[in-house]
Amino acid sequence: MAERGWKLATDFRPHSHHWALLEQARAAATESATIDIEDLRVCLFFTTWGDGMFPVFADFGADGTRVQIRIQLHTEESAANMATVNA
């Protein structure tokens, strides 16, 4: 399948926020999506780093306004987790 570029994805929870994000991300050229849940915005994106939870940092300017969001994909913990999974 991979050599032909074929992909298959299934999910049995079409009512969930998670499913809605996955549906959007699969269709997006950026392989990412956002959804608003009450007063929060949630972002999902596909990576080659595998499943996981990654640290997120907000950087602020001198006047206190948020200027950037950073996501650290590689940490010692994430590398150890991936090594365990791939062993």
What is the extent of the structural domain holding 30? 1-46
pLDDT tens for each residue of 18-43:
888 999 999 999 999 999 999 998 88
- 5 HSE (CA, 13 A, CB side): 0
pLDDT tens for each residue of 2-18:
688 888 777 666 678 88
Q: Looking at the structure, tell me whether residues 55 and 41 fall in a common domain.
A: no
The pTM of this model reads 0.56
Q: Looking at the structure, tell me whether residues 54 and 25 fall in a common domain.
A: no
Q: Looking at the structure, tell me whether residues 32 and 20 fall in a common domain.
A: yes
**Of 46, 62, 78, at which residue does a domain stop?**
46
Which pLDDT score is estimated for 74?
Answer: 84
CB-based burial, 61-79: b 16+ in 10 Å, e otherwise: eeeeeeeeeeeeeeeeebe
Q: Looking at the structure, tell me whether residues 20 and 6 fall in a common domain.
A: yes
Number of domains, the chain: 2
Cα–Cα distance measured from residue 10 to residue 17, given in angstroms and rounded to the nearest whole number: 15
Q: Looking at the structure, tell me whether residues 67 and 30 fall in a common domain.
A: no
Q: Looking at the structure, tell me whether residues 41 and 58 fall in a common domain.
A: no
